[in-house]
Amino acid sequence: MSHAPSRFHGIIPPLATPLVDRDTLDVAGLERLIEHVLAGGVHGLFVLGTTGEGPALPAAVRRAVVERTIQQVAGRVPVLVGISDTVLADSLALARYAADGGAAAVVAAPPYYFPAGQEPLERWCRALVAGLPLPLLLYNMPEMVKVVLGPELVRRLADLPEIVGLKDSGGDLETFAGYSKVVREVRPDWSLLIGPEQMLPQAHALGGHGGVCGGANVHPRLFVDLQAALERGDEARAVGLQQKVLALGRLYSVGTQPGRVIVGVKGALAALGICSDVTAAWFERLDTDHKARIAAIVTEIAT
Residues known to be catalytic:
139, 167
- C-alpha distance across the termini of the chain, in Å: 35
Cβ atoms 220, 11 nearer than 8 A: yes
